Structure 1
Amino acid sequence: MATDPEPFTLPEDVSAQPVPIPPLERSRHVAHCNRCLAGLPASLTDIDSSRMVLAFYCLGVMDVYSALDMKLSASDREAWRGWIWAQQAGGEHGTGFRPGPFMTRVRQPGYTDASAPHLIMTYCALLSLAILRDDFRRLDRAGLVRFVRACQDTNGGFTTTPGADDADLRMCYCAFVVCSFLNDWSGMDVTRAVDYIRRCRTYEGGYGQSPGAEALGGTTYCAIAALYLLPQDTAPAGRLTRAEHRQTVRWLVHTQDGATGGFAGRTNKVPDACYCFWQGAALAIMGEKERIDAVALTRFFARCQHRFGGIAKAQDEAADPYHTYLASAMIAIAQGAGTWALGPLDPLVNATEETAAWARERVPARPVLA
């Protein structure tokens, strides 16, 4: 008696199986930034004029990967502390930190040539000193408050240096972080600053660099983080409405590319590793981190890893400390599996939670009460 044949089944489709994610090359990324601390390759000499920012990115990578003790000796740490404090510059409009020695090409009123402090560099200097676990005894706090006040423009925004004509949300964010660390908001007209931020909002729900400009991922992060840094007594006036919250989340989520997993900085642009932080960190601040496709994002970062160390803006591009740090910071926020799990990061100030806590405890003139 004939029997029915065994049912035929197709072989398993190997192409449909998930490809394992390569490991996070921690030691290579740390080594890349350690090399850049010692000397820049020819491809990066254009950022030599922003040495303070470069130092922050490189030190920040070591901090994110918990490699500072391994890579920097006690004497190295002291040397870097000394160099950063040497960039603290004071004058008629207060005290801040400059990009590096002899980096100012135009004389600023109230400061000697090459000594004018810079708001973004001041933000980077405070975080770098916190990474190096400095005690901040040399910080001119009163002068720093005066400097922030002098940088606030008549439109409510902030400029890089007093009297400059370059106000935008990047400097606004840095001013908010400085005031938050100081636990002193007397150097800022908060109402005008919040109004400036709100005027930078676009129809998409993102924020432009200045009022009327196109929405960008980086400046959207700056706006969201600044509003969430506001002290509790002023926060309700600055926070987003429910409708604004939904609109901003929708715009941020839709900038994650379905094909690559990375985030684009603007509508209809290609993904970039740095924007993965700007958009992803903004979502984390807003309590919407679960909307990020973390697995796809991890695959994107894995493709951006350079074979000689460091993380590039995109696959097959050259690595640099800027993209290496911001990608690593987002990896810490996303908290992937296995080697892709890093220590927690405070997205509000863009530093590890331990470093942020160190700054909040030691930068203020008076201890912050719990």
Structure 2
Amino acid sequence: MAPSEEYRLDKQRHIKYWKRCAQLLPEPYTSGDSSRMSFGFLIVAALDLLDVLDSVVDSIEKQSWIEWIYACQVPHTGGFRGFTGTMFGGQRSYHNWHWDTANLPNTYFALATLVMLGDDLARVNRSGCLAWVRSLQRPNGSFGEFSGENDEVEGADDPRHCMCAVGILNILQGDAVNGANFTINEQSLRKYIANCQSPEGGIGQAPLLEPHSGLNYCGIATLSFLGLLKHPAVSVEEMANQAEVDVASCTRWMLDRQTTWVEDDDDDDDDQDEDETPNVNQGQKIQPSSLVMSSLQGDLEHHGIIAGFCGRCGKIADTCYCFWNVGALAILQQHRLVDIVSLRSYLLGKVTHIIGGFGKGPGELPGTS
């Protein structure tokens, strides 16, 4: 049976799942209430990708979502909090403000969600937010997560916050900032991303650390956003060249993350698996060279291989890393090298859930990421 006949995306089931998540999160995710902004972003993005955001969400509900997001905008800084549970209202003071501070990821999620919902961002404190983002850049070029006491930059410095910072700049910079100077130290940021690239090719959390697919995506997306800030915009390849990031080795590293090790017979939890030595005989890498030849020859016959993507060398496939790897490859316009047939078999044959959505692995509950 051809793969297009065997594995089909049940669009209506996924739409129903995401509509349900928009009204009431599944029980396992209610403990993450402080991350509600990120949940909202993922839900709205899913409905938008399914091309039903305007048809299944009426204008009244959309406006209520927009109002909730603006309720999360923190005074003075212009950034956004993760949920409304930390709001002090009139009781906000010098002694408690640090319990209710804006943070970089939630600000990016909030702005991106407002854009998807069709808001004009007129109520965003653009100047305050841009100045706040700029203040979060560290001397090594990276960005922290939030401002602490005495305006100290707090939070990890890794490519995730770099992507969020430059993404915010892309969304907000324009005529509304009245020509004020909100530039960042682009040269040090490029150098930081380049230093995070490991000898293996992928980008890690910090210099000299193991590469990771999610962080690698954020590093590539940061370079892409930097290119979009140029006037006129320049390609991600040009930004990578300026940053001295080796695109060829990074592409090779991502392609090597596609693996046939998609199921684990061991019932141990994920934390235990991370500490164990992987059984390299449980799966194999898909060889890019053969994929390129197959693609050039138009050979898209079902070959019986099921292969997802993992996040690090020697790890089992995981649904989220299918996006992190293929998404980064797409930014670099190298996604044609992926074995799409095997990946489709993994996503639709192994991790899609009967109620809609996708699980982290085979048999697991669907998530919001």
Distance between the aligned counterparts of 1:66 and 1:196, measured in 2? 37
Distance between the aligned counterparts of 1:37 and 1:200, measured in 2? 36
Contact 1:101–1:114 under 8 Å retained in 2: no
**Residue-by-residue CA offset, 1:107-162 (whole Å, 9 max, x unaligned):** 99898254311110111111111111011110111011111012112322111112
Change (3 A) 1:297 1:109: farther
2:313 to 253, 267, 270: 267
Contact 2:72–2:84 under 8 Å retained in 1: yes
2:276 is the counterpart of 1:291:
no
Change (3 A) 1:111 1:120: farther
**Residue correspondences, number:** 303
Alignment TM-score, normalising by the size of structure 1: 0.76
**Residue-by-residue CA offset, 1:3-47 (whole Å, 9 max, x unaligned):** xxxxxxxxxxxxxx6564321021222222222222222211232
Contact 1:104–1:116 under 8 Å retained in 2: no
Contact 1:255–1:266 under 8 Å retained in 2: yes
Aligned residue for 1:144, secondary structure, equals helix
* Larger displacement relative to structure 2 (255-264 or 96-105): 96-105
Percent of matched pairs sharing the same residue: 31
Alignment TM-score, normalising by the size of structure 2: 0.76
Contact 1:30–1:62 under 8 Å retained in 2: yes
Unaligned segments of structure 2, at least 5 residues = 148-152, 175-180, 260-285, 287-304
* Larger displacement relative to structure 2 (168-177 or 145-154): 145-154
Contact 2:78–2:124 under 8 Å retained in 1: no
Partner of 1:54: 39
Aligned residue for 2:75, secondary structure, equals strand
Q: Which of 1 and 2 has greater Rg? A: 1
1:204 to 200, 205, 213: 200
- Pick 1 or 2: higher relative contact order, CA cutoff 8 A, min separation 6: 1
Distance between the aligned counterparts of 2:308 and 2:62, measured in 1? 35
Contact 2:81–2:102 under 8 Å retained in 1: yes
Contact 1:21–1:302 under 8 Å retained in 2: no
Contact 2:34–2:85 under 8 Å retained in 1: no
2:212 is the counterpart of 1:166:
no
Partner of 1:89: 74
Partner of 1:301: 347
**Residue-by-residue CA offset, 1:330-360 (whole Å, 9 max, x unaligned):** xxxxxxxxxxxxxxxxxxxxxxxxxxxxxxx
Distance between the aligned counterparts of 1:123 and 1:110, measured in 2? 27
Please provide the CA RMSD for this pair: 2.5
2:75 is the counterpart of 1:73:
no
Give 1:232 deviation, angstroms. Answer: 3.8
Give 1:261 deviation, angstroms. Answer: 1.9
Contact 2:7–2:344 under 8 Å retained in 1: no
Change (3 A) 1:125 1:165: closer
**Residue-by-residue CA offset, 1:251-307 (whole Å, 9 max, x unaligned):** 111111145321111111111111111110111111211101111111111021100
Partner of 2:173: 183
Distance between the aligned counterparts of 1:28 and 1:321, measured in 2? 15
1:98 to 72, 81, 97: 81
User: What is the one-letter code of the residue matched to 1:90?
Assistant: P
Distance between the aligned counterparts of 2:122 and 2:343, measured in 1? 41
Partner of 2:273: none
Partner of 2:246: 244
Partner of 1:319: 366
**Residue-by-residue CA offset, 1:172-223 (whole Å, 9 max, x unaligned):** 0011111122336824211111111111111111011122221000111111
Partner of 2:111: 126
User: What is the one-letter code of the residue matched to 1:277?
Assistant: F
Change (3 A) 1:97 1:18: same
Change (3 A) 1:147 1:308: same
